[in-house]
Structure 1
């Protein structure tokens, strides 16, 4: 049955992991419009020729450049979008405020949660995003955000988390249960090399150079190792890491998708020392047949199978990472077997599970919605946003 669905997402400024989810959702529901607080201009490629409704925040000065500075007014921006009605369901994708979209009581909302808002619940890991002079005020505001965020979380009909770790966080912060559907990974593009790996082995770090990603741990570990480490990514710690790195550590900054695939394919292993919500780079590396060395926390517990496609370190220390790097050099995990473990993250699997979750939510809501009564009749021919009077 064709469904009339509205998709919502926090903002669409850069094409990153959460935007990949939105792209797949819009492929799953090709007639669905997208609601977002702020969008890039010009729009991201997958949003061209799409109906996109933006909040009034879009008209604020430099909003698409400095959207994070507007966090204090994000709740108001989502309220001013108006109420969504006359659809079968709303599917929101959120790591900030999109789950607060106003939905008619007759319409259920499924929220695909990348994480409860880190700005509010883990301010220390995100404070680098705010100017130094504003951090004290921002921290106070985030305390108020936590109360607002938990209240809005109760308006969501069904939660889906991108990993088991995020599902645990949803239960802890929101008091809500969540099923787990892993985000989509382009396993057709990220695939093993057809030739042999390059002669000189190297290890690879891919990620933003910010505090909680723990690139510093990787750089420190390789100071005492005879192997090369290639660092891909940029961030506020870049200058400091470059200044402290030993000659066997090289920095590539940002790279193209094709360059990244080649780096994955020929690396001895990807090192991923962060406690991440999911960690799509781990899944991409594994899809390329390259094992992963990761911290035994967060999304890694859903991705890394010790001895099969990588290794897990119990504590985030440079000595533990260095030890597993030596293990990786001495091991020979077959690339085809490593890669095969990534098929559970294929986009087709994601879409199939999401479609089933939405249908299950709609059926359950119509049987016994706690607020209002289910809308009768077949799928509507349009969607409608009712602005505040």
Structure 2
């Protein structure tokens, strides 16, 4: 249910926008399970395009949420999100903020515990975020707004009580951008093995043998095109799960051995993981959740040696790396992968390091630490 009524609570959850299905939204669901009575504050909420589990949450939105086109395409809202974020007031004693650039600017009356996926990519890693395109309307708007948004963003960072980083690469990025020393807290996997698997309709050629699996938002920095080109060369079956601005271009690149699907249920995702040979990703990933989700099913991974993947892969045990996001490097790594034997039990054991229980326990410990402070946690983040 969506409402704009403000309710006092001990713990609240904040998130940039709930308009899509991805790793960040899975973390919010994990937070909701850890703090089931906590309301969720967000700028935009579109029930039809995010996870259905949010329908049973108390969701409090910004005034921007009244504009339907912005709910259905949050990227159109980019010029207005700083304004919307600044107008959200959260009266909770503690707010746990799930943020990649906006929710850390929500105004809180109590402590603000920020769980950061990355300082805003569209401000500090613009080329990676937008790709090679130089003159798209959104990019031109950002060129104009960037000086204001950077000032707003850095000011928002200073309102935090505690900063957590999702990975070591994000920890360093937070230090470089904000001057804040953040603790690394890996995101939890949210795989529920009790969910009934649901088949996904695939071309007969792909369904006939174990396929490789790439699950990703279809954005330039995810480098899904590189994976497609590598598998076109290899001829091995590949299933890509995801949606995004790159969808039409990527679909035009796919050979007969590559299938693209989207808008799947959790049961369908589980079905794909269970029948896959390995997870593949060439993305510049700040964390890299899909290798962990694959590991829960005993599946190894083939991923770029970069960023969050350095924290989530045990090389030679749960997966192999390639050194650059090029079709030739991906193809070489896949060939190397096929020469090795993989122990599903060891891979599943590695996934146990990334449980919701560990994640929630660390956040509860932080809330207890803040409660013990004379000020109750009000003040700026450590730097």
Indicate whether the TM-score tops 0.5: yes
- Alpha-carbon RMSD across the aligned residues, in angstroms, is 2.8
The 8 Å contact of residues 88 and 362 in structure 1, kept in 2 or not, is answered as no
Mean alpha-carbon deviation: is it higher for 47-56 or for 323-332?
47-56
Aligned to 1:376: none
Aligned to 1:263: 272
Shift of 1:52: 2.7
The 8 Å contact of residues 11 and 95 in structure 2, kept in 1 or not, is answered as yes
Pick closer, same or farther for the CA change 1:66–1:321 going to 2, 3 Å: closer
- 1 CA distance for matches of 2:259 and 2:216? 14
State which of 154, 161, 164 in structure 1 corresponds to 2:165.
Answer: 161
| Matched ranges for 1:184-333 at <5 A | 184-189=188-193, 200-333=209-342
Number of residue pairs the alignment of both structures matches: 360
Pick closer, same or farther for the CA change 1:158–1:130 going to 2, 3 Å: farther
The 8 Å contact of residues 108 and 362 in structure 1, kept in 2 or not, is answered as no
Mean alpha-carbon deviation: is it higher for 218-227 or for 323-332?
218-227
Pick closer, same or farther for the CA change 1:121–1:283 going to 2, 3 Å: same
Pick closer, same or farther for the CA change 1:321–1:108 going to 2, 3 Å: same
The 8 Å contact of residues 181 and 354 in structure 1, kept in 2 or not, is answered as no
Shift of 1:13: 2.0
- 1 CA distance for matches of 2:21 and 2:374? 33
Report whether the alignment pairs 1:173 with 2:177: yes
Mean alpha-carbon deviation: is it higher for 127-136 or for 274-283?
127-136
Report whether the alignment pairs 1:70 with 2:77: yes
Report whether the alignment pairs 1:94 with 2:99: yes
Higher RCO (CA < 8 A, seq sep 6+): 1
**TM-score scaled by length of structure 1:** 0.83
- 2 CA distance for matches of 1:326 and 1:231? 19
Pick closer, same or farther for the CA change 1:250–1:34 going to 2, 3 Å: closer
- 2 CA distance for matches of 1:325 and 1:307? 13
State which of 140, 143, 148 in structure 2 corresponds to 1:144.
Answer: 148
Which string of whole-angstrom CA distances, capped at 9 and with x for unpartnered residues, describes residues 355-385 of structure 1?
Answer: 11222233346388658xxxxxxxxxxxxxx
Mean alpha-carbon deviation: is it higher for 130-139 or for 29-38?
130-139
State which of 9, 12, 28 in structure 2 corresponds to 1:6.
Answer: 12
Aligned to 1:120: 123
The 8 Å contact of residues 17 and 280 in structure 1, kept in 2 or not, is answered as yes
- 2 CA distance for matches of 1:207 and 1:277? 13
Which string of whole-angstrom CA distances, capped at 9 and with x for unpartnered residues, describes residues 29-75 of structure 1?
Answer: 23322222122257964344543322221223533123322222222
